[in-house]
Structure 1
Amino acid sequence: MDDSVIGFSEEGARCLHHPHDDALVVSIQIDDYNTHRVLVDNGSSADILYYPAFQQMRIGREMLIPTDVPLVGFGGTRVYPPGAITLSVTVGDYPQQITKDVTFPVVDCSSAYNAILGRPTLNSWKAVTSTYHLMVKFPTEYGVGEVQGD
């Protein structure tokens, strides 16, 4: 697993229409839910779950761990999450997949996304992203796993 070489080739980008500036948006499994519209954001210092997605998972609000730490946005605006929750996240296709617990602050505001995967999770996965290829790759016990952008 530690000796995996992760790389991208031009072949991996052939199915995409270039040039593009599309965001890297993937589908992953959060607990037992196939979650679409998950933004992979190397610039985010937090993993985020948006409240509408949290509600669709039918997890009781009492499961949230209270937090008083605000999230600070690009313009300096502060958002205070009603709480955080730790959920199991699975990415990749068997057997090149990984499952790890991720602590998400739950944010009650509108977004085009259901969740954001930021640096905490990407680093814990030892993931490498390519916006050009719209792909995330990561080492697993069975070789390099990957998830393609939607």
Structure 2
Amino acid sequence: MVIAVVLANWEVHKTLVDQGSSADILYWPTFLRLDIPHSLIEPLVGFEGRSVYTRGYVDLLTAFGAPPDSRRVMVRYLLVEADTSYNIIIGRPTLN
């Protein structure tokens, strides 16, 4: 399922909801367009598995749905530099 979410006061389209993903991912080009301070990025430690270049992680308030029925949650996004047609992947950590 592909949806739009509000992330750091910006509406972000092309957000993939993937129940099989074990991480919430924010792609680096999208992060740059959101104009979020780089000082919020934390280093990623202990990442194992397939080799992917990460820039760390960032915790961002994310809204799902339209007001007045929207749900706002703090999401920890891995910042990944990769070619993809999506801006964000919402995985099991946020869905549960």
Same fold (TM over 0.5): yes
Secondary structure of the equivalent of 1:82? strand
Number of matched pairs: 96
Pairing 1:115-134 to 2, within 5 Å after superposition: 115-123=88-96
With over 3 angstroms needed to count, the CA separation of the structure-2 counterparts of 1:71 and 1:44, relative to structure 1, is farther
Tell me the distance in 2 between the aligned counterparts of 1:71 and 1:64: 19
Matched, 1:46 2:19: no
Report sequence identity in percent. Answer: 35
TM-score, normalising length: structure 2: 0.92
Letter matched to residue 96 of structure 1 = D
**In 1, distance between residues paired with 2:56 and 2:25?**
11
Corresponding residue for residue 39 of structure 2: 62
Q: Give secondary structure in 1 for the equivalent of 2:70.
A: strand
Segments of structure 2 that go 5 or more residues without pairing to the other structure are: none
Where in structure 2 are the equivalents of 1:12-91 lying within 5 Å?
A: 24-70=1-47, 72=49, 77-91=50-64
Q: How does 1:105-144 map to 2 (within 5 A)?
A: 105-123=78-96
Distance 2:68 2:55 in 1: 36
The residue identity in structure 2 corresponding to 1:83 is G
Q: TM-score, normalised by structure 1?
A: 0.60
Q: Which has the higher contact order (CA 8 A, sep 6+)?
A: 2
Shift of 1:71: 5.8
Bigger Rg, which one: 1
Deviation string for 1:87-110 (max 9, x for gaps)?
A: 000011112111010000100111
Q: Secondary structure at the match of 1:79?
A: coil
Q: Distance between the aligned counterparts of 1:28 and 1:54, measured in 2?
A: 14
Taking the aligned partners of 2:84 and 2:37, their CA distance within structure 1 comes to 21
Structure 1: unaligned runs, 5 residues or longer: 1-23, 124-150
Structure 1 residues 70 and 84: CA distance shift in structure 2, 3 A: same
**1:98 and 2:75 correspond:** no
